[in-house]
Every structure is written in C-alpha cells, then in structure tokens.
C-alpha cells in the first residue's frame, strides 16, 4: 500500500535532483512513492531522473512536452499519484530525516487535510540556519488555521516569514473529492492558491513546529527577480478568488484578500520598474512608479535587499 506520494516538479535541476530524491529515500516510512515531473528541462534533468528511476523501483518519471511551470508539472504528477497523502518537494530542496512519518502521524491524530511544518534554511554552499518566526498572529501550533489566518500570514511582516514558504502534506482524497488542482497559469504563488482553494472548501489545516523541510535560499540579485508577467497572473488569480468566493471568505477574509491584492499590485509595479532599470530605461521606470506612488517603498526595499546580498562579506580571520 502506498501511504505517501512525493511529487517533485523539476526544471533545470540536474545538479540538485539526486540529493533531493535521496532525502526522500532516506525517510523511515515505508509505502512512499516518488513522482518526478520534468518540466521540459533543457539540461540533463530528464536523464538524471531516468537514472534514479532505474535504480529505485518506487520512482516514476513524467516528462512534459513543453515547459508549463511548477503548477502544470505538479498537476501531471498529482494525476498519477496513488498515495493517501501527497507531499510537495522542490527539486533543489530536501526533507529532514523522519519528516513524512511525523507529518502523517500528526495529520491522522488531528483529522487534518493539510499539515505543514517548520523550515530549515540552507544557502547554495550548504550552510544551514533556522528560519525566522512565521508571519502569524499568536501561536501557529495547537490550533486549526482559519482562512483569515492563512491570508494574513502570507504577508511578510516585521522580518517574519510568509506562510507561503511552507510546503504542505495534503490528504489526496480531499483534492479528488473537491476537484482541486494547481492553477496552471501561475508560476509563483501556486502553492498558496492550492491551499487557499482547499481552505475555502472546508479543509482542516494544522502546523507542526518541528523543522522538517530544508529550504534552499536563492540569490537576491536584481537579475533573479520575479517576472512581471508572473506577478500579473498572480494578481488575476487573487482577484478571481475575491470575486468568486466572497461569501466563503467572510468579512475578515475579504479584507485580507483586498490587502493582499494591494500589496501584490505594488509588487507587480516594482518588478516592472526593476525590469525597466535593468534595460537602462530609468525614465520609463520612474514613469511607471509615478502612476502608482505607493509602490515606491516596495521598489526601494527590493533594490536595498539585492544590494545587501551582493556586498562582499567580512574578510576571513588571519592565521
């Protein structure tokens, strides 16, 4: 019997896929299958996945005909999943030992449909650090999360980490029963919208604070920013939720969704301005910000963060 299906959407992941998969194979729990969905990678990702599948019988590999983004890749894997539970894993991240056993036991003991756990942050050199506290009002553990909890928690506040970074374990029958899947239009925020759709449908969501997911932090360089088109698609999806599910959201949920839309509009404008700056069009960037002045603060924060991460660190101590 397959207890858990781990789905890995992989794109240009030939260098990290092996360690990612090994972290799943090393779990103490039996009854785990792994589905790698290669999103039409132009590198050796497909070959790396095929080699892993030849060595380990519990691995299956899907290859998308064209690049559709993480939502499309995860949907392809979900359609083939057989486990009672589905765990999402990015191809450059890893599970900590014993994670699946802890999460499935926790989910069953609380009758939950979605469970998340704490993160460990790792940079590209492998250095690990504890994650900042979650952006959550009150203690996130020991309670069922509400729609307003989740919406408010997906906003980064006071240096705290957005709930959108958490990677869920999901009861697959809930997805099937309610016809819920990833929005294939989204290349950012796709996990948020999947969980949001489940909460709107009445899912029970819980949090286990013990860190179990090793999240790889990427470069903060301006050359690695969110694509403005992807930010606009996210805005479209946000507005659809507010329009189509106003009653389910309730007054607090609607207020938080409107706030999210305002912040994501600032994000989209800031990203567009950064793109214009990169293209050496400062006057066009200034004009775009002038049409939405409130996006100025977001633009300055992103430029400042990128500049800090590009500064060299202190010199090593002498002998």
Smallest CA-to-CA distance from 37 within 1, 3, 16, 67 is with 67
Helix or strand run (H / E) with residue 273: helix 246-278
* Beta-bridge partner residues of 230: none
* Cα→Cα distances 72→75, 77, 191, 231, 252, Å: 5, 9, 12, 17, 31
Residues 6+ apart with CB under 8 A from 100: 4, 6, 24, 27, 29, 32, 87, 169
Other Cβ atoms within 10 Å of 57 Cβ, number: 8
What angle is formed at CA 120 by the lines to CA 212 and CA 158, rounded to 5 degrees? 120
Tens-digit pLDDT string for the chain (319 aa): 899 999 999 999 999 999 999 999 999 767 999 999 999 999 999 999 999 999 999 999 999 999 999 999 999 999 999 999 999 999 999 999 999 999 999 999 999 999 999 999 988 777 888 888 898 888 899 899 999 999 999 986 777 889 999 999 999 999 999 999 999 999 999 999 999 999 999 999 999 999 999 999 865 433 345 787 888 899 999 999 999 999 999 999 999 999 999 988 998 899 889 888 889 998 998 999 999 999 898 888 878 876 666 645 444 343 3
* Cα→Cα distances 140→145, 171, 195, Å: 8, 20, 16
Smallest CA-to-CA distance from 146 within 227, 2, 252 is with 252
Smallest CA-to-CA distance from 85 within 25, 173, 214 is with 173
* Beta-bridge partner residues of 90: 9
């Amino acid at each position: 019997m397959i207890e858990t299906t781990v789905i890995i959407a992989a794109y240009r992941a030939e260098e990290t896929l092996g360690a990612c998969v090994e972290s799943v194979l090393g779990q103490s729990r039996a009854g785990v299958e792994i589905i790698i969905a290669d999103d039409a990678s132009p590198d050796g990702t497909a070959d790396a996945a095929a080699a892993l599948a030849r060595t380990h019988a519990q691995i299956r590999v899907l290859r998308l005909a064209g690049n559709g983004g993480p939502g499309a890749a995860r949907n392809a894997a979900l359609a083939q999943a057989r486990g009672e539970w589905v765990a999402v894993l990015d191809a450059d991240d890893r599970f900590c030992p014993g994670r699946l056993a802890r999460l499935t036991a926790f989910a069953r003991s609380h009758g939950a449909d979605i469970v998340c756990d704490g993160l460990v942050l790792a940079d590209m050199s492998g250095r690990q650090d504890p994650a900042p506290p979650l952006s959550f009002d009150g203690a996130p553990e020991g309670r069922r999360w509400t729609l307003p909890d989740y919406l408010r928690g997906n906003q980064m506040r006071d240096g705290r980490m957005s709930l959108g970074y958490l990677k869920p374990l999901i009861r697959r029958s809930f997805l099937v029963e309610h016809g819920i899947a990833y929005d294939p239009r989204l290349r950012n925020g796709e996990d948020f919208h999947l969980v949001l759709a489940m909460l709107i449908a009445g899912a029970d969501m819980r949090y286990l604070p013990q860190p179990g997911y090793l999240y790889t932090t990427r470069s903060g360089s301006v050359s690695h920013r969110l694509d403005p088109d992807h930010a606009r698609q996210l805005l479209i999806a946000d507005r659809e939720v507010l329009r189509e599910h106003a009653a389910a959201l309730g007054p607090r949920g609607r207020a938080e969704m409107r706030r999210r839309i305002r912040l994501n509009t600032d994000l989209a404008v800031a990203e567009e301005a950064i793109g214009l700056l990169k293209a050496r069009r400062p006057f066009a960037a200034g004009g775009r910000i002038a049409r939405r002045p409130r996006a100025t603060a977001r633009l300055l924060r992103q430029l400042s963060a990128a500049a800090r991460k590009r500064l060299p660190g202190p010199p090593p101590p002498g002998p």
